[in-house]
Amino acid sequence: MTNDVTWNDNGDWQAGGGWGARDSRGRDLDLARWQARLDGLRAAHRVPGATLAVLVNGRVHELASGVLHRGTGVAATPDSVFLCGSIAKVYTATLVMRLVDEGLLDLDARVADVLPEFATPDPAATREITVRRLLSHTGGVTNDFNHDGGRGDDCLAGYVAAARDVPLDCPPGTAISYGGLGYVVLGRIVEVLTGMTWDRALREKVLAPLGLEHTMTLPEEALRFRAAMSHLGEAGADPEPAPAWDLMPRSVGPAGRIISSAGDMARFAGMHLDGGLAPDGTRVLEPGTVAAMRRREAEVPDKWTVSADGWGLGWTLYDWDGVAGYGHDGAAIGQYAYLRVVPSAGVAVVLLTNGGGARRLYHELFRELLAELAGVRMPEPFGAPATPPAIDVAPFTGTYRRAGVVVTVGERDGAPHMRYEFVDDMKDVSPPLDMDLTPVMETEHGTVFAASGAGPSFSEDHMPVVFSTLSDGTECVYVGMRATPKVPAAEG
């Protein structure tokens, strides 16, 4: 099922376009061929439903395949909406940067000066956390804090108050450690500076100027549209509908809840491609602000979990053999979203899915699409080498701990092994994960192993595990882009 949307001479989005539209590389964009490819790959990887949007030459092409719910059989359509998980962080970053443009916020302001209610258990470290560091995941705050602040408009305030007792993953500025807590704090900053809830501020300052009528933040708003149901299951079998559509509390919205159609997300990306302009010429962001968001703020030791080569202000940054790109991934209890933008080609691609082997679908489909539309050669999916190099795990054995997680590295039956355990407030997320480690490579940023045995909810194949060192000399392990410091032997 396809739908084309383009800009008219006045700069407005309109239905139209047609088969065989020309892309930026001068080739025919054969929508029938890509529809067939989406259908085939979706079925092969047991993804119940998927929508795809491609922005090229100022035109958004929208495709849909499969069903939104295997129980009801409702078909996926181009205007269907999906839970997009952590891609919400880019929307929150865009909103924060709009406040910077309006003179309401300084990127290098201390968070505690802007938001006195913010604190961590370490007062000295708290004073080192800036808005910029939260945007770039270098503030040291954790990802594994899922406090439910309730359904009221004060939910972010409640979350930030509860987070005062949550230890940092690492000292601010010593490393990137992907975290959701920081983005909830950013959402609360938005509320304090605008006098609006994060949901309303995003709608009025970003979504409405862009005409994004199929983008929302609250579950009840999604009921107006065809909404995708999450699906869960073991690898190699068709997933079944999840017991609940959305399990995330409202309070984590700025970090993890955007509900959108693929086409709307492509239009959001189009604003960033067009230097901050909405289709009708309304300026959402200043050109310099758009550029600053995709300027490298942090290096990334783990270049495989989300394919990151670096991090900007909200954006994940990519380097595809010299071709620069940016985007973000998102996951939400069985729904997976992928956004990739290639500014040199004026191309943005969005894939939204509701379960199954979504990451494999993404790899195959985006590899082909970006090669054809933008001359991009994406790397091979991460995995264990056929002939592993000789890398001794002994220097890395021990216990690593951060809020909500304990990682134990050692040997089992003479082979490298890792146990990943959720503890404290996170103990009910999952049973402990026991994983075998296979050496992969040494890099300038750390030593890489491939973990197997995590299960499909965490990794369909191998999970990258990177042993690295923080800038203050502390040893750490990266799992899921989170830095977990090593516990001194006397404490372990």
Please name which of 173, 444, 93 lies closest in space to residue 303, comparing C-alpha atoms.
444
Q: Residue 86 catalytic?
A: yes
In the chain, DSSP finds a helix count (H) and a strand count (E) of 14, 25
Distance of CA 256 to the CA centre of its chain: 8
In the block, which residue shows the tokens 């402990």? Answer: 432
Nearest to residue 423, comparing CAs of 456, 400, 453?
Answer: 400
In the set 65, 80, 86, 230, the catalytic residue is 86
Task: Report how far residue 152's alpha carbon sits from residue 292's, in angstroms, rounded to the nearest whole number.
Answer: 34
Backbone φ and ψ for 161, nearest 5 degrees, come out as -65, -45
The two beta strands, 28-29 and 231-232, are unpaired
* Helix or strand (DSSP H, E) at 315: none
Q: How many residues does the chain have?
A: 492
**Alpha-carbon torsion (113, 115, 117, 119), positive or negative:** negative
Which DSSP string do the residues of 439-486 spell out, in sequence order?
A: EEEEETTEEEEEEE-S-TTT-SS-EEEEEEE-TTS-EEEEETTEEEEB
Rounded to an integer, what is the distance from CA 165 to the centroid of its chain?
A: 26
Residue located via tokens 């509390």:
249
Cα→Cα distances 135→107, 125, 196, 272, Å = 9, 17, 20, 17
Torsion of CA 73, 79, 85, 87, to 10 degrees: 150
Which amino acid, 209? P
Q: 147 near 249, Cβ under 8 Å?
A: yes
- Tokens 């139209």 belong to 16
DSSP state of 346: T
Q: Which residues are catalytic?
A: 86
